[in-house]
A and B are shown apart, each in its own frame.
Chain A
Amino acid sequence: MKEEDYIRVLFPNYFKKIGLGLIVLAVLTAIILSLCRFNIFAHGNFVFREGFFCLLVIGMFLYAFSKEKNEDERLSAIRNRVMTYTFYVGVSVTLTITILNIFLKSNSNNQGDYKAIDLIFLMFCFYIFLFITEKRK
């Protein structure tokens, strides 16, 4: 079977392991730091917090967009469907938070901790969860 366009844009299968490794590394680092009574989510620890999320998002990105061992047209259809749902979730969450901010009269400089990386993290969580669930059906 010739390699279709949708398969060509994905990373090779071994990137899935690299992605998983980065996710495990990020989570383990956070756990070890918290065991050492170092809260990476505290206000003063901006670098650690952002580093943790960057590592996590890179890992999730590689995991989500690398080929399965047997990538075929059914998986491509699932990817398309899951991607659409993920986009809906991203838009819904962004709009909900924005509207809530309007009603709570927050100004643009004080929107809590909601940032682009948080949205991307949430979208990747949703994408990976839904893709694995749909794939197993």
Chain B
Amino acid sequence: MRNSLKIERAKLNLTQQDLADKIGVSRQTINSIEADRYVPSTELALKMSKIFSCTVNDIFSLDEAD
């Protein structure tokens, strides 16, 4: 699973902590998602898509290996 969270965050000029506060998780969780160490739940993915005003598919996409 790949994601463009870092890019989307940069577009809105949000820090990891800002995004974490907006969706109610820790900064480490955002960091883990960006580093592909953790795949978020549907609920969290939907919250992110709402913040970035895009679809979940725009942020997350499947790898060829998935």
Contact A1 B24 (CB under 8 A): yes
Categorize the interface residue count of chain B.
Answer: 10 to 19
CB-based contact B40/A73 at 8 Å: yes
Q: Which residues between 52 and 82 of chain A lie within 8 Å of chain B, taking CB atoms?
A: 68, 70, 72-75, 77
A135 at interface by CB-CB < 8 Å: yes
- Contact A74–B24 (Cβ < 8 Å): no
* Distance of A73 Cα from B43 Cα, bound (Å): 10
A44 to B23, CA, bound (A): 57
Residue of A nearest to B40 (CB): A73
Q: Report the Cα distance A77→B38, complex, angstroms.
A: 9
Say yes or no for A137: interface residue by CB 8 A criterion.
yes
Tell me whether B26 is interfacial, beta carbon within 8 Å. Answer: yes
Interface assignment of B15: CB less than 8 Å from any CB of chain A: no
Q: Is B50 an interface residue (CB 8 A)?
A: no
* Contact status B28-A135, CB under 8 Å: yes
A70 neighbours in B (Cβ, 8 Å): 25-26
Interface centre among A68, A70, A73, A74 (most CB of B within 10 A): A74
Using a CB–CB distance below 8 Å, which chain A residues touch chain B?
Answer: 1, 68, 70, 72-75, 77, 135, 137
Known interface pairs A73-B41, A74-B25; 18 further A-B residue pairs with C-beta atoms within 8 A, sorted by A's residue number: A68-B26, A70-B25, A70-B26, A72-B24, A72-B25, A72-B26, A73-B25, A73-B40, A73-B44, A74-B26, A74-B28, A74-B29, A74-B32, A74-B40, A75-B26, A75-B29, A77-B38, A135-B28
